[in-house]
Each structure stands twice: as structure tokens, then as C-alpha cells.
Amino acid sequence: MPETIQRDSLIGKRITKLDAPEKAGGKTRYIQDLDVQGQLYGKILRSARVHAKIKSIDTSAAKALPGVHAVITAADVPYQRPIGVAKDHFPLKTDRVRSLRDEIAAVAAETEAIAEAALKLIKVEYEDLPVLADPNDSLKPDAPLIHPEPHGATAKHDHLKQAQGIAYLGKPDNIAMTFDYQQGDVAAGERESDVVFEDTFHLHYVTHCCMGVSGIIAEFDPSGNLLMYSNTQVPFLHKREFAEILNMDPARIRIIQPPIGGGFGSKLDIYPFEPITVFLAKATGRPVKLVFTREEEFLASPTRQPVILTLRSGCKKDGTLTFRTVRTLHDNGAYTSWGATTPFVMMQTISSLYRVPHCLYHTKAVYTNNPYAGSFRGYGNLQATFAVEQHMDMMAEAIGMDPLEFRLKNAQDPGEVTPQGMHFKSCGFKECLTTAAEASGFLAKFKANEADKAKPGRFKRGVGMASMLHVGGGAKIYPSDGCGTILKMDDFGSVTLITGASEIGQGSETVLAQLVCEELGVPLSAVRVINNDTEITPWDVGVHASRTTFIAGNSAIGAARKARGKILDAAAKMAGLNAADLDLRAGHIVEAKNGTVVMTLAKLLRQLHFSDKAELVVTSFYYEPPSKHQDKHFKGDVSAAYAWATQVVEVEVDTDTGIVRLLKVTGAHDVGRILNRLGLEGQIEGGIVMGQGYALTEELMVENGVVRNPGFRDYKLVTAPEIPEMDVRFIETMDGEGPQGAKGVGEAPAICIAAATANAIYNATGVRIMALPFTPEKVYRALHAAKKEAA
Amino acid sequence: MSQQTINFTLNGVPTRVSVPVQMSALEMIRNVTGLTGTKYGCGEGECGACTIILDGVSLNSCLLFAVECDGRQVTTVEGLADDPLGRRIEKAFVDAGAVQCGFCTPGMVMQARQLLERNPRPSREEIQRGIEGNLCRCTGYVKIIDAIEAATKE
């Protein structure tokens, strides 16, 4: 036993992920790698038409195929309830299909090959309906309705209509959701303006492309309890929703999350394949496993929501922002998932990234026959930032101010309460701006590129900046934003941390373990994290909104502090010392002032059996600190803390081909405090490259409702040789409510890249492009058009 | 469905299996021999998650027929447990923070193994080129490149 131990801390260090060794060795078993004894394989028949009535379905030949255990259609599951944010579709479609992904029938068979063969034997007769492929057309008075009142549903389902949403009620127009927000008087703001711009920005379809495709295993035990192995990011919300859809007691539903091959927001909703697999398990009395193909993943998983955004903004000659008016049209697709609610996040950027006295924001999400949009890292903020940050550059240029000075003049300060009612307690925005600008040499490059713009030469360099504001302290989206922790210690000084928080690769289990080590003075190797079974873990709202470090971290700290208190009290009693004079270090109880070892932690824990007659088990719950939730006018806070960032992007534009290369990204992020530097860098770097894909290479091409590129061959993710040089700086503002001062960061790094790239292309070429992605063709055409105009 | 019996060495172990002639090597490795470290990411040779080493050459096992393994040496990520260079690469991936969701990682590790065998001292650019057929959605590749670079320095 050492005589003295000095205090050591893991906070801010480069801590390797707890699950990395098994993942690197290929030993981790994802949903694709799990098999359950006796399992059958599920497959889904999807619509062959974009928009059509289902006239008839003939499953007889499929049912007769040897090895097929069940073929089901909507008629076989009369108990199914609608799913989605607006409850606007059934897992298995009833009278019509509204997009090419729509689920018509499903098969459970002994092998995947048999299930596949059975699908080909199902005959469906359709009657085509006119296709709505453009959200503008959806608003026309003569537009066909995507969700007319279902034929014959009225009388039969009258009692369910109100509760069960659009699937029963229908919708007399194609408007899925609207958001309206107002602060001040934009007309007054416009009268004060010296400069006014109005432009329309077009944001495209992209999709998550998790490397692990979607999948689920569902089985019922002999007592009728449902067990699902699921990739969901929201297990506890799923439990409740599944209970509704299946008309089951939620207590009889258990969700186990195997390690998840990527999330990025794609797994926040219930998608039809999940209840369908449950229906198959019910129909066959066997466990059923259903895993997507990559093509299916492209066709039938959610997308980022495409947006047409018209922004009108103004400022005074001295650089003061005066007003912003925004109208957006969101292509909701055929059904409503979380994508429709992204305006809620977009309005924060519009009203509160900078000080703007007057704002007006109207948005509509409309039904079309396109793929339906879900939530995706950044949640609307990439789209809003793309428009807002381009206008910032345009206004700065118009009044002859540089982009940095203009932003600094309007940037938020700590302590600010915005007209929308958001309280910025910790706010390193101005430091982000100056740090990113200085580290990248922004101003000098900006001016040099401007001077070079008109000179002859094929390759042009450009530099552009963009900033962002995002939730960093949980998100007050659901009525509660809580997370629970159970912490127990064994006789040997090991800690089991049982948390509601989910791990999707972002490294939450490692950060949570670190926070516990900090309180309990145990090495990381002594902590085991259990985080994937609703039967064991306490409630949590889910992994989304960059909330896990903040919310689950505070919850874990709460439990660890309780345990620490108990341990130190017991040790003080045994050693005849004051608890306040003791500390926990490296698995020992020590005297705080000089580190003199009093006893080992393990010995004390064993002693507790006799003194306390209690194992050391503590529980803790963290709820976001009390504050005003947003009211029905969207005034109020959406988070306990806010994250800030500025990214400077340097590009080279090949004016002969339109190819834009990202040379360097300099990012400055207000993260509150660095907890795990290695994990933090990984989040930022990954986010930057995801932002690069959004800006330059990725586009889900949807033509008349048909996805033209459902594969990595034609949907281009950024590859290793294409990544930019990165210089990432962290601003530590030590948030008062954050765990050890930290704030959320998961979404932040992806948000600014497209906007900053647009500004950089302008700096390089003098051509401003307001539609994404910046493919060579689009850039070439824009440059060419500008040249023609000039001539 | 015509079956064929093949003999090959899988991670050093003599192996005999009977497979349908149209089955991919990926499917055989995962579903017949039960080694799940090799991942299905796309099935069309675009993502590299299914990378294996066949007679010393890395390739996408989804594009290879299982029967083509007959008489050959197949190494999967599980086989690197007995391989000093493989173990060094795995450790470097852990230490550099190159693993997030981990789904692309076995394929990346296999491709890195191939790269470093052919070129023990690659430049950063050569590493980037060497893994361009392997997609990662989490890391932005930076730490993967760091890891491979670190693995060259023993």
C-alpha cells in the first residue's frame, strides 16, 4: 500500500473509449451479428408505385412457398395503430401507398433467401394516383390530397379518430405542420435599415448513411412479453409508443440495444419495419429478425428535411442588424416524422444567433409523395445557418465592413436574454469568432483572395466563416428531459454505473465513467457501464439534441457524489477522522491535505457489510434545471445551456471544372469544458466531414418520388483523401450547470460547414450560390452564368 | 440451388464447408463459419466494411464468391489476434481514438494491415489513398489516419 497519493484527474485528458478494443478486434456483436434460437427472417414488400390505390393483394403463392411461415398485410393486423409524429400512417399500408418506400406486405421465412423469393410471389394491383413531387405544388388549390379521409374508416373507427390522428381522420389539405414566430415589428425594422437583402435558398435531401444498416429482432416469451433487440436512440419512449401501437401493457415490453452502428438522429422515431417485425413474431410465434439491405436503407430510412427558405434581412450602415423575415417551405414527404419539427430549432438561429430586434418567421411543412424526413444531426440548424450566415456576409460587404467585425458587432454576450427568451448564461461566441479568425489568418486571406479574384487563373482560393448556436444543455422538447442513474460498488472497489443514456458510438459511456472516477477516485478500469436494457436501466429520454454528456453526466455525478458521501462518512467513523478532511484517490481513502493513505477503498466497502448492513447502491435522477419552457408563441428557453462555434473554411475552386476542394477548416467551439479531449476531437472531426458531405458531395436524388441513387456508388460520402486539414480550438466557458462545466457538442461541428463553404466560394470567385450541394456541375454553371452576365 | 464443397484455410484453421455456388464469401464467413467481425455495409464493394485478406491481398468479400476461396488462405479480422502487425494496428486504433460506432473499424483495420505490409512507412497521403475504399461516417477519418501512422512507429 502506498503511503501517500496525490490527487489526479481524468478531466480534459485523452481517454480512449471503453468499447474500442472489442470493436477494433471485430468482436462486437451488432444487431446484424445477433441470432436468437429458432429465429425466422423477415422481409418487407414495398410499393412499386409512388402514389396509388391498392386494388388487391394476392399472397397465396407466397404463402404456399416451402419455408414461409407467415405472409401478412394490413388485413392480417386489424389491431395495428398508426405511427409517427402526426400518427399519419400505419406500419402496413391499408388502402393506398403514398411513396415508393411504402410497406404493403411482410414475410417471415426460414431463410432470408426464402423470404426474398416469397416477396416476388406477392401480386399487388394498383390504381395510380397523380404524384406530388414538388412541395410548391402541394399548396395549389387543386392539388390532390396525400391524406384524404380514409374510405370507409369513419364509422368503424369513430372512437379512435381524435386520439389516433391523421391516419383515421385524413387531412383536408397537404399541410403537415406550421410554425409561426414573431418578435418586434419587422416593418419598423425594415424602415430603419440602410441595406436590405432578400434571397431564396434551396436545401437538398441527404440521409444518415449509418455504416450499420437498420435492423431489429422481436420475440414474445411464453407469457406474451415482448422483447426487442433494437437500434433505437430512444428506448424508453419506444416502450411507451410500442405499447400504444400494439395495444399492449408497456410493462410487458423490454428493449435491449446491442451496440449501434451509427445513429446521427436516424433512430429517434418508430419506423414501420419495427412494428412489422413484431407483427411477424406474433403471427409465427417465433423470434423474427429483420435487417435492411443497403439499398433499403437508402430508400426506407429517414432523410434530412429539404427546405426552400426565403430570407429577408437588413442592417444599418453602422452594422447594426435591424430585422429578419423568414418564410420556409419544408418537403415533409408522405408522412410526418421529426423532420417536420425542425423549424423549432431553425427559429433559434434566426432570432438569437445574433442580436436582431425584429423577427418574423413563418414555416410550412407540406406533404408530398417523396421520402419522408426525420431528424438528423443539427436538426434544421444546417439549413437555417446556410441562409443566415450567407446574408451576414452579403450585408457586411454592402456596408463595407469585414465579415468578422460585422459579426462581432452583432454577436451575443454572456448574460444576454434574447427577445425569444433564451438565457445565455455561458457564452463564448465572441471568443469563438476571434479565435477561429486569428488561428486561420482569416482577415488577411479574405482580403488577399478578394484582390486575386479578378486576376486571370484557373484555380481560385477562398476563405469563408460561419457561426452557430445550438442546444448544449439538453433540449426542452419533451415535457421532461431527465436521465436516471443507479450506481453500485462491490467488495473489491469496482463500480457499476447503470445509466439510462444510450451509446451510439459517440463515447458517452466513457465520458460518464470518467465523471464517476472523478468523484470516487477509482481508475477507469474499475468502472463498468450498463446502458442498454430497459428492464435494468433507469429512464432516460434518449440520445438526441447533444444532450447526453450534459444530462446523463449530471445524473451520473449526482449518484457518484451520493456514494462518495456515504463512503467518506463510513471511513471517517472507522478511522476516527472528519469526513470533510478525507478524499478518494486511486482506490484509496486518503487525508485530503497531504494524501496520507488511511485505508483501501475495497477494505472499507467490505466493512460496510458489517457496519452499514447495506451494499453500496445509490440512485440519482437529473432533470434539466427549472426554467420557463417555451410558451405557445415559442418564447422561452429550449436548453439549460447553449453551445457556440465559429468555423472558417478555406477552399480552392477550379473555375474550369467547378470542382471545389476543401483545403482547411479552422473551428473554435465553446464546449463549456473539455472532458475527454480525444472523444471531443473525434466528434468535431467527424462532424466537420459530415458537414463537408452536406456541402459538397452528398445528395439523395429524388425525381418524381423515385430515389435515383440508393447506393454508395452514386450517393457520395466523403472519402479519406478528400478531407480538409483541420485545426480545432476549444473555448472553455465553464458552464455553471454543466457536468464539470461542460456543454453538449455532438451536433455543433456539422452545422456551419455548408454556410462557410458558400462564403468561401464567394470570396474565391465573386459568385454566390444559394442551393446545395456545391457539385462541380452546379458550381460550373453558376460561374458560367456569372461570366455571361458580366459579358 | 447447386452446392459445392470447398477447402480453405480460415485464420490458419483448415476449413471445409459446403456452400451454394452463388453465395458470397462475406455471407459464408458470417453465416456459415460464424465469424461476424467482417461486416456487411453495402454488398457492392463501395464501403470496405467487409474487407478480408485473401492470399495476402485485401479485397471486399461481398464481391467474391465463396467458392473462389477454395484452396486459398483467408484472413478475417478475427485472424489478426495472432498477428503482431494486426495487433499493433488494433491497439493504435484504440489509442488514437479511431473507433466510434466501430462498424467500419474491422474493415479499416484489415485494409491498414494490407497497406502497412506493402508499405511499412507510408506518408499521410499514402495512408489516405490506402483507405479510400473504406467509408467511415463517424470519425471524419482523421484519427484513423493518425492510428495507421502511429502503427508504423514501433
Q: How many domains does chain B have?
A: 2
What are A554-569's pLDDT values in tens digits? Answer: 999 999 999 999 999 9
Q: Is residue A1's pLDDT more than 90?
A: no
Same-domain status, B70 and B102: no
**pLDDT exceeds cutoff 90 at B34:** yes
Averaged confidence pLDDT in chain A: 95
How long, in residues, is chain A?
Answer: 791
The CATH number of the domain where B89 resides is what? 1.10.150.120
Residue A670 bridge partners (DSSP):
A644, A731
Q: What are phi and psi of A621, to 5 degrees?
A: -130, 140
Please report where in the chains the cell 482523421 appears, as a residue.
B142
Complex confidence, ipTM: 0.98
Into how many domains does chain A fold? 2
Cα gap A440→A451, rounded to integer Å? 18
Do A329 and A460 belong to one domain?
A: yes
Asked if residue A613 has pLDDT above 80, the reply is: no
Per-residue pLDDT, averaged over A643-660, amounts to 98
Q: Nearest-CA residue of chain A relative to B105? A: A24
pLDDT reading at A152 higher than 60: no
Contacts of B141 in chain A (CB under 8 A): 685, 689, 719-720, 723
What percent helix, strand, coil does chain A show, rounded to 5? 35, 25, 40
Q: Is A114 part of any domain?
A: no
Same domain, B15 and B63: yes
Instruction: Give the confidence band of B1 by pLDDT, cuts at 50, 70, 90.
Output: low
B143/A682 Cβ within 8 A: yes
What's the CATH code of the domain at B70?
3.10.20.30
pLDDT, average across residues A518-527: 97
Residues B7 and B69 in one domain: yes
Chain A: nearest CA to B131, how far in angstroms? 7
The count of residues in chain B is: 154
In a domain, A32, yes or no: no
Cβ contact (<8 Å) for B90 and A209? no
Check pLDDT > 90 for residue A156. Answer: no
Both B73 and B108 in a single domain? no
CB-based contact A755:A390 (threshold 8 Å): yes
Q: ∠ CA(A628), CA(A625), CA(A375), 5° rounding? A: 75
Domain assignment of residue B20, given as a range: 3-79
Instruction: Please state, for a pLDDT cut of 70, what percent of chain A lies above it.
Output: 97
Helix (H) or strand (E) run with residue A609 in it = helix A601-611
pLDDT digits over A51-82, tens only?
Answer: 999 999 999 999 999 999 999 999 999 999 99
The pLDDT of residue A629 is 76
Give the span between the Cα atoms of A378 and A384, in whole angstroms: 10
Mean pLDDT check: name the lowest of A624-638, B63-77, B140-154: A624-638
Instruction: Tell me the one-letter amino acid at A592.
Output: A
Q: Which of B79, B114, B130 is the last residue of a domain?
A: B79
Backbone angles phi, psi at A23, to 5 degrees: -70, -45
Q: pLDDT tier at A155 (50, 70, 90 boundaries)?
A: very low
Q: Cβ of A719 and B47 within 8 Å?
A: no
Q: Both A503 and A430 in a single domain?
A: no
CA distance A506 to A510: 9
pLDDT-derived band at A151, boundaries 50, 70, 90: low
Percent of chain A with pLDDT over 90: 92
Tens of pLDDT, residues A323-363 = 999 999 999 999 999 999 999 999 999 999 999 999 999 99
Helix axes A548-575, A601-611, angle to 10 degrees: 70
Residue A181 has pLDDT above 90, yes or no: yes
From chain A, the residues in CB contact with B137 under 8 A are 208-211, 262, 264, 686, 690, 717
* Partners of residue B82 in chain A, C-beta under 8 Å: none
Q: Do B101 and A261 touch (CB under 8 A)?
A: yes
The whole-number pLDDT of residue A603 equals 94
Per-residue pLDDT band for A477 (boundaries 50, 70, 90) equals confident
* Residues in CB range of A442: below 8 A, 6 or more apart: A404, A436, A463, A465, A648, A666
First and final C-alpha spacing in chain B = 50
Instruction: Show the domain range for A528.
Output: 20-27+482-622
For A338, which DSSP code? G
Minimum distance, in Å, between the CA of residue B37 and any CA atom of chain A: 4
B78 Cβ under 8 Å from any chain A Cβ: yes
Q: Chain A interface, mutation test: which of B103, B124, B143, B149, most A Cβ atoms within 10 Å?
A: B103
Q: How far is A685 from chain B (nearest CA, A)?
A: 5
pLDDT class of A157 with cuts at 50, 70, 90: low
Dihedrals phi, psi of A759, to nearest 5 degrees? -65, -35
Residue A160 has pLDDT above 70, yes or no: no
Least confidently predicted of A160-174, A246-260, A459-473: A160-174
Query: Of the residues A588, A603, A622, which one is the last residue of a structural domain?
Result: A622
CATH number for the domain spanning A556: value is 3.30.365.10
Looking at the structure, tell me whether residues B14 and B58 fall in a common domain. Answer: yes
pLDDT at A658 > cutoff 50: yes
Whether omega for the bond prior to residue A773 falls within 30 degrees of 0, making it cis, is: yes
A584 and A644 inside one domain: no
A714 touches chain B (CB under 8 A): no
Confidence of residue A517 (pLDDT cuts 50, 70, 90): very high
Q: How far apart are CA B22 and CA A418, in angstroms?
A: 63
Contact A353, A466 (CB under 8 A): no
Of B30, B58, B79, the position where a domain reaches its end is: B79
User: Does residue A735 sit within a domain?
Assistant: yes
Rg (CA), chain A: 28
pTM: 0.97
Does A603 lie in the same domain as A578? Answer: yes
Residues B69 and B93 in one domain: no
Cα A275–Cα A478–Cα A676 angle in degrees, nearest 5: 95
If asked whether residues B64 and B89 sit together in one domain, one would say: no
Q: Are B92 and B148 in the same domain?
A: yes
Which of B79, B105, B126 is the last residue in one of the domains? B79
What per-residue confidence (pLDDT) applies to A161? 52
Q: Which residue has the higher pLDDT, A162 or A586?
A: A586
| CA atoms in the 13 A half-sphere facing the CB of A644 | 28
pLDDT at A479 over 60: yes
Chains A, B: CB contacts under 8 A, how many?
173
Q: Does B13 touch chain A (CB under 8 A)?
A: no
Of A35, A211, A510, which to mutate for an interface test with B (greatest number of B Cβ within 10 Å)?
Answer: A211
- Together in a domain, B60 and B104: no
